[in-house]
Structure 1
Amino acid sequence: MNAIPLPPKPFKRRSVIAAAGAALAAVPVLAACGEDEQPVESDVDAAAIDSSKASGTIRLGYFGNVTHAPALVGLEAGVFADTLPAAAKIETTVFNAGPSAIEALFADAIDISYIGPNPAINGWAQSEGAALFILAGSTSGGAGLVVKPDITEVEDLRGKALATPQLGNTQDVAARYWLKDQGFTTDENGGGDVAVTPIENSEVAAAFDDDTVQAAWAVEPRYSDLLLKHGAVEFLNERELWEGGEFVTTHIIVAQNFYQEQPELVKAFVEGHLAALDYIAANPEEAQTAANDHIEALTDKRLDDAVIAAAFANLTFTADPIADSLQGSKEHAVEVGLLEEVDLKGIYALDILNEALRDRGEDEVSAGELA
């Protein structure tokens, strides 16, 4: 049946008190959008937006992780402050996990957030396509399978324990899908041919050192940390599994009502994000220092200089959302039983980003089949 687009209808985000009683599940096992429910379309006329007139506050969410480097650098190096109009302000909230950021967006506690792909899919499905849009890309790559040195062939993984950051998260889905493709069974309780074991990023190195796990599908900076400081060897860089070697690791979401009601602020933020990407590309060493300074300010811990340098080298910072890989990630999650089918068509709202790119004389980006 052909979809008939509905007119724009902003999702009414709940109060913080109401949301507190209905937190999102950490695992994105979601109900599919009903056949009668169609994604909300954006009615923003990007060509008519003048970001120099932006005024007000942008409530920004992000994580204190190197995969969110454009946010870290944009804040720490003053790029956002230098780029946004003086009348536009940023208030920040730091999250430790994607479901918390989605809950905050639902609760009208943030307007824009850097976030991973699976939480965005989760939020889209939970709101039946009415709460958020993906506004721009941010980070690609930086994940894959690292193993103990005695694991040299795929079959050596049989009977081993493999760590992922969280059940149902982006790396967990990638690991389970790849293992299934290799003919291995897994389950959500650590059973099967390979025991996929969700372990928090901060605890993976210790588990690897004491042989609790013999492999990890890790994401930066844990990926480089395991290789450089804990004797792991690279078995598979996830780039090898994606066409063109690129896949979405972090992108930017925006609340639909904020996108529709505050387009000048949204475009001003997008221009700040593009400026942060420029800064990273032009000043890689300074960007690494700024990101590490910000991580230290948030966590009281600083990444080893060699680790953050290796992490930056394994990541691509880009405004392209790499939409095909989001669709692929969704399909992989469905295939391994961690997600019910959901239609992602309409999840991207790239008009404002593409207007900003045209203003800079740069190529536009595409949402592909999800436009």
Structure 2
Amino acid sequence: MKTLLQSAALGLALVMGLAPQTRAADKPEVVRITYVSSPFNVPSIVMRAKGYLEEAFKPFGIRVESPEITSGAAQVQAIAAGEIQIASVLGGTSAILGKANGADVQVIAAYSRSPKAFGILARGDGPSSVADLKGKTVAGPKGTTLHQLLAAALAKAGLTLSDVNHVNMDLGAARAALLAGKVDAATLAGNNALAVEQAGGKIIANGDGIIAPTTVIGVRGEFLRNHPDLVEAYLAAHRKALDFMAENPDEALKLAAEEQKISLDDARRMMGWYDFSIRMTDKDVANLADEQAFMVSSGMLKKTIDIKADLIAPKAFELK
């Protein structure tokens, strides 16, 4: 007798126009799904704490491994190499760059939208506005949503990236450099931004009204084509985490606060910055198109893709 997950998977395969291509014996022994908890990925934190992934894949006799690969570029490289099957939290920029450069990556759902979670910060005695950044050194990860935020915020102030010294650093290094006074400002997100504020720093701009980043869930295209039932098993676990967050908000916040090593008050504040609904929308497509346009204008990307047709699986627009 088929399990509910297997029946749902068959429905997914039919909707996506995918004929089952493998028998049960052909299924992998292990599925590798990245675990990314920062900046504030509550569904992933809940999924791990509650064992929802292991529960979802148990009927298939499949073991789940969760490598902690936080870089979007590294996740795409791992997908391209077949080292992981699902990138659970993937920046739209990384997904687009990967697809445009030939990586077999498909978007199966949205993960989050959080413009207020991305900011440009300075120390208390540092620049007070984006206009004040002219001639200053700004640290942060290049080729990311934060890079896009910096460029867009500068443009709004009548400046360009060439008006600042933009130093490429990961979030932890950028936060440390800012607090040590080695740079004038930093582009930060989530708990890294909170840490600067708690140390007396200030936000001089965030993404609200400037950019509208969409973080997605990416899979290896071959895995989606061959194992739509396993992709549905993953999505079922993700939905279960979202249901838990809705039904047990205090416990979900506590789990997130413990994982991020922040206070419950800070966790509650950050939760208000995020929309975790998984259904992709036309607005998400437009946001991703804006990210692609930014990458082209900044010289990061030469070959463009059709976001909706090339990158996003049709089922992603029908999810609930």
Q: CA RMSD in A?
A: 2.7
What is the letter of the counterpart of residue 144 of structure 1? G
Partner residue of 1:273?
A: 238
- Residue 247 of structure 1 corresponds to 213
TM-score by length of 1: 0.70
Q: Deviations over 1:116-171 (max 9, x none)?
A: 112111210111xx60110101121111222334533443222222221x221221
User: Is the contact between residue 131 and residue 159 of structure 2 (CA under 8 Å) also seen in structure 1?
Assistant: no
Tell me the TM-score normalized by structure 2: 0.80
Residue by residue over 1:304-330, the C-alpha shift from the partner in whole angstroms, topping out at 9 and shown as x without a partner, is 544434332322222034222111111
Identify the residue that residue 6 of structure 2 maps to in structure 1: none
Question: 1:86 aligns to what?
Answer: 59
Q: Retained in 2: the 8 A contact 1:208–1:215?
A: yes
Q: Residue deviations 1:71-101, cap 9 Å, x none?
A: 2211112233445563254221111312221
- 2:100 maps to 1:125: yes
1:202 match: 172
- Fraction of identical pairs, as percent: 23
Match of 2:121 among 143, 146, 169: 146
Q: 1:323 aligns with which of 285, 308, 312?
A: 285
Give runs of aligned pairs for residues 282-301 of structure 1, distance below 5 A. 282-294=247-259
Whether contact under 8 Å (1:112, 1:252) holds in the other structure is: yes
Note if 1:311 corresponds to 2:261. no
Describe the shift of the 1:348–1:329 C-alpha distance in structure 2 as closer, same or farther (beyond 3 A).
same
Do the aligned residues in 1 keep the contact of 2:179 with 2:196 (CA within 8 Å)? no
2:311 to 347, 352, 356: 347
The yes-or-no answer on 1:212 pairing with 2:176 is no
Q: Which residue, 65, 76, 80 being the options, matches 2:38?
A: 65
Q: How far 1:251 moved relative to its partner? A: 1.2
Of 137, 143, 147, which residue of structure 2 is paired with 1:161?
137
Q: Distance in 2 between matches of 1:94 and 1:180?
A: 35
- Distance in 2 between the 1:320 and 1:356 partners? 5
CA distance in structure 1 between the partners assigned to 2:106 and 2:40 by the alignment: 20
For residue 78 of structure 2, give the secondary structure of its aligned residue in structure 1. helix
More helix by share: 2
How far apart, CA to CA, are the structure 2 residues paired with 1:68 and 1:356?
A: 19
| 1:46 CA drift (Å) | 2.6
Given that 1:224 and 1:310 are in contact with CA atoms closer than 8 Å, whether structure 2 keeps it comes out as no
After alignment, is 143-152 or 196-205 more displaced? Answer: 143-152
Partner Cα distance (2:287, 2:134) in 1? 28
Q: Deviations over 1:233-285 (max 9, x none)?
A: 2222202224xxx531x210011111111011111211211221222233233
Q: Which residue of 1 aligns with 2:4?
A: none
Distance, in Å, in 2 between the alignment partners of 1:58 and 1:181 is 44
Question: Residue 8 of structure 2 corresponds to which residue in structure 1?
Answer: none
Q: Which residue of 2 aligns with 1:12?
A: none
Task: Select the residue among 80, 94, 101 that pairs with 1:106.
Answer: 80
